[in-house]
């Protein structure tokens, strides 16, 4: 798959590397493999890589059952995914998408260690949902070939990808990644490099306000979620959605907004902080604003 660069040369995107085999990284690997790209998926944990492969297999099987792909498509896509724990896995990759936890120091350390393993022309993208692209690019050896590529969760179902240029991102880099986004059957939306970009700049303060509404006793978990589903026609209530995203991720984005924009309206709700400190991180932990241990989620407040 070839993209012509501005100087007339060709950049062949055949292999895409993904760092982090969690919910987002696994989802990105899924859509890249279905689109026909070779995929190299990395994580520090072999167990997490095995879990990611199982999840990808299950999600693709769901697509087969709904006639979105064929069984042959699924088999071919799974065969395109290779996994490993070492960055040498990415030596032949054309584009690498970092999708580690939403923590700037973790991402910076990953990017510093990653660059020596890559070929010079490789483009690096980050799937950060809130952190400055310009700051992350500055720790790499290729800020001109670095940008944000923020997928939505769950990746196989959600059509949007926010594309964010840092101050040093070259126009050619942006164009190549925009074309790649379309090849992945996603819709690109350009966002400027400001804290939390577009979607989370709007969405997370709404979730944070829902937590304040609970914290102040205005409504229960059930009544807040019911009110927003039936009163605003949202498919999920804000507290249910927070559990789905992960309360640690919600808190991290709110902290980026609060620190980056210095506006008190972005102050994380103390109740959100308390839940994260308790390890009640939502669905992935089995408990957040709902308890997921039974057949049906039960509100925890």
Please name the residues in contact with 222: beta carbons below 8 A apart, sequence gap of 6 or more. Answer: 299
Catalytic residue among 42, 127, 129, 132: 129
Q: Is 200 annotated as catalytic?
A: yes
Question: Using an 8 Å Cβ cutoff, are 216 and 69 in contact?
Answer: no
Beta strands 10-12 and 2-4: pairing type?
antiparallel
Cβ atoms of residues 149 and 165 within 8 Å: no
Catalytic residue chosen out of the listed positions 150, 170, 208, 240: 150
Beta carbons of 276 and 245 less than 8 angstroms apart: no
Active site residue 59: no
- Alpha carbons within 13 A on the beta-carbon side of 142: 19
Catalytic residue among 127, 130, 132, 200: 200
Q: Is 1 in contact with 37 (CB distance < 8 Å)?
A: yes
Active site annotation includes 296: no
Residue 91 has what DSSP assignment? T
Inter-residue contact 80 to 89 (CB < 8 Å): no
Alpha-carbon gap, residue 222 to 230, rounded angstroms: 12
Identify whether 150 is a catalytic site residue.
yes
How far apart, in whole angstroms, are the C-alpha atoms of residue 257 and residue 136? 16
Q: Closest by alpha carbon to 39, among 101, 86, 92, 99?
A: 92
DSSP H or E stretch at residue 204: helix 199-215
CA separation for the pair 69, 93 (Å, rounded): 26
What residues have CB less than 8 Å from 145, skipping those under 6 apart? 121, 122, 123, 124, 170, 173
Q: 146, 173 in Cβ contact below 8 A?
A: yes
Residues annotated catalytic, as ranges = 129, 150, 162, 200
């Amino acid at each position: 798959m070839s993209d012509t660069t501005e100087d007339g040369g060709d950049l062949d995107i055949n292999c895409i590397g993904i760092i982090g085999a969690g919910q987002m990284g696994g989802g990105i690997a899924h859509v890249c493999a279905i689109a026909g790209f070779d995929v190299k998926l990395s994580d520090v944990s072999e167990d997490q890589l095995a879990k990611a492969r199982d999840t990808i297999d299950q999600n693709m099987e769901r697509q087969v059952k709904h006639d979105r792909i064929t069984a042959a498509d699924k088999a071919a896509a799974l065969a395109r995914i290779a996994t490993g724990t070492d960055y040498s896995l990415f030596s032949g990759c054309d584009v690498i998408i970092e999708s580690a936890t939403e923590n700037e120091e973790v991402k910076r350390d990953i990017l510093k260690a990653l660059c020596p393993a890559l070929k010079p022309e490789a483009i690096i993208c980050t799937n950060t949902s809130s952190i400055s692209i310009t700051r992350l690019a500055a720790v790499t050896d290729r800020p001109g070939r670095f940008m944000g590529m923020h997928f939505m969760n769950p990746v196989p179902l959600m059509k949007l990808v926010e594309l964010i240029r840092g101050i040093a991102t070259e126009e050619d880099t942006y164009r190549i990644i925009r074309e790649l986004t379309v090849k992945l059957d996603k819709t690109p939306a350009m966002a400027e490099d400001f804290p939390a970009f577009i979607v989370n700049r709007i969405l997370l303060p709404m979730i944070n306000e829902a937590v304040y509404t609970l914290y102040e006793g205005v409504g229960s978990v059930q009544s807040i979620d019911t009110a927003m589903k039936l009163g605003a026609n949202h498919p999920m209530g804000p507290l249910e959605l927070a559990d789905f995203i992960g309360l640690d991720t919600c808190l991290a984005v709110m902290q980026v907004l609060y620190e980056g924009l210095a506006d008190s309206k972005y102050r994380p709700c103390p109740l959100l902080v308390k839940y994260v400190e308790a390890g009640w991180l939502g669905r992935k932990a089995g408990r957040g604003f709902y308890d997921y241990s039974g057949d049906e989620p039960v509100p925890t407040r």
